[in-house]
Each structure stands twice: as structure tokens, then as C-alpha cells.
Structure 1
Amino acid sequence: MAKVNIKMPEEFLLKVSRLADQTDVILPKVLEAGGEVVLDKVKGNLNDVVGKGTKYPSRSTGELISSLGLSDAKQDRDGNFNVKVGFVEPRSDGESNAKIAGIIEYGKHGQPAKPFLKPARTASRKSCANAMIAKLEEEISKI
């Protein structure tokens, strides 16, 4: 049986061990950096579709756009960190922001769909990954 012994550079091993101690601090920062990119794209897309192309004058109050936000990075029961882009509930008029966003995204009888979430997810995928990589490299360089 052949045996291979590989020795890693001492500096690399020290960085990796320090990185392991800091993952609970670094990962939320990295995810939030990527979430900000997606949030900006969703807000831009929502701004572009709300009140545009309607038969009647728009009744938009701007409350839906202002309720859009990013959650803090939280760890789920499986140990995975997550951030969410979503709407704060409830609205001042008692309606659900999620319901109104769903109607805008998918439409309803007599109201055509004006997708803003799915195109934002698709368009921001690469820039989100790049922002997360840049933030990770920045955090690693601090170690």
C-alpha cells in the first residue's frame, strides 16, 4: 500500500484554524453583503412596475416599496445561515404586503402579471456572488 504525506504551509494552516473560529462572525457578514445586492435589485424592479401600465390612475402609496427589507443572518436548526429579502407586515390599511406583492408578481383576473422578484433573482445572481466573494476575501484578510 502506498502512503503519501503532504505538508501544508504553516501560515495557511494557521489562517484556516483562525477562520474556523470566526465562521459564526464572518458568514453573517458575507450573506448580508450578498443580500444587499439582491435587495437593491428587487427595489429597483418593484419601483419600475408599481403603478405603470394601468388602465386607471395609480393608487400606489409607496408603502409596499418602503416595507421591503433584508433580515439579519440567522442560523436555522440544520446549522445553515440564511438571510431573507421580504416585506414587513402588516400594512397601515390592514392588508398584507405579501398578498399585494403576490398579486403584482403573478397578476389576477383583470390584472396582468408584472414580475419583479424572479427577474431580480436571475439578474442579481452573479453580482450577489461577486459581492459575497469580495466580502469573504476582505474578512479573511483581516485574520
Structure 2
Amino acid sequence: MAKAAFKMPEDFLLKLSRLGEKTDEIIPKVLEAGGDVVEAKVKSNLQAVIGSGTKEESRSTGELLSALGVSSARQDKDGNFTVKVGFSEPRPDGKSNAMIAGVLEYGKSGQPPKPFLKPAKSASKSACVDAMIAAFEKEVENI
């Protein structure tokens, strides 16, 4: 699965620290807002590359696209909150969605790469940060 890490701006982190006990309620909402933006970009990129540039007619069933989603915000052992954009498992045919996405992203013998994850990360970074800032400010207003 692809991994993307974004550094939060300093002024954003300072505002976050002032919220005290409400941070554990607000952080997941903010991260999920950013995750939704990234998911939308990954989905549009994936739709664009599935079946494109093939010699034969596409055999796509739509399972990979429908398996794309955002996890809920979770706290790891170090206390950091994370949200993951990726593919749910398993597929009915027994193959792994992550494996199929990897083959699309990086290619294989006889199949050129069709990157969709890395360009989505680059293209959605500023929109993701903007969405997280907007969600954060909305949550702060509600306090």
C-alpha cells in the first residue's frame, strides 16, 4: 500500500495545542476531511488509468475502484493519529487489491506502469491541507 506523510504547519500545531482535552475529538475529524480529498483524487486518477493504453479490450470489473476508501482515524502506539487511503481486502476472486494496485502503479513484465497513487499524492497535497485547516477552524468555532 502506498504511504503518504504530510507535515502540518507550525501555526496549525500551535492552535491545536491550545484546545486541551478536545484535541482527541477534533483531530480525527480534521484528518478524515483531508483523507476524503486525497481519496477523491486517487479515485479520479485510478478511473483514468484503468483500461487505458491496452492492446486488448479492458477486463476491468470495477472491484478495485469500489474497494478504494479511507480508514477511520486511529491512534498508533506513539500517540500519532493516522488516516489511510487504500483498498479493502479481500476480493471475491482471491487476489489482493493491493497487489493489483501495485501492478497498475509500477507495471510488470509486458505491462507498462500507469501511476495513479504518486501523482494523486502530489496533486492533492495543498487541497488536503486546505480541507484540514477548514475542518479544524470549523471545529474550533464550535467550541
Which range, TM-score by smaller chain? 0.7 to 0.9
Deviation at 1:21, TM superposition (A): 1.2
Tell me what 1:24 maps to: 24
* Aligned CA distance change for structure 1 residues 113 and 72 (closer, same or farther; 3 Å): same
The count of corresponding residues between Structure 1 and Structure 2 is 129
Unmatched segments (≥5 aa) in structure 1: 1-14
Identity rate, percent: 66
Q: TM-score, normalised by structure 2?
A: 0.87
Following the alignment from structure 2 to structure 1, what is the Cα–Cα distance between the partners of residues 101 and 73?
23
Give per-residue Cα distances to partners, 1:58-104, cap 9 Å, x unaligned.
Answer: 00000000000000000000000000001011111000000000000
Aligned partner letter, 2:84: K
Secondary structure of residue in 2 paired with 1:69: strand
Equivalent residue runs for 1:40-119 within 5 Å: 40-119=40-119
Tell me what 1:8 maps to: none
Secondary structure of residue in 2 paired with 1:124: helix
* Bigger radius of gyration among the two: 1
Tell me what 1:34 maps to: 34
Following the alignment from structure 2 to structure 1, what is the Cα–Cα distance between the partners of residues 106 and 21?
44
Tell me what 1:134 maps to: 134
Following the alignment from structure 1 to structure 2, what is the Cα–Cα distance between the partners of residues 84 and 96?
17
Following the alignment from structure 1 to structure 2, what is the Cα–Cα distance between the partners of residues 16 and 110?
49
Secondary structure of residue in 1 paired with 2:69: strand
- List structure 1 segments (4+ residues) > 2 angstroms apart after TM superposition: 15-18
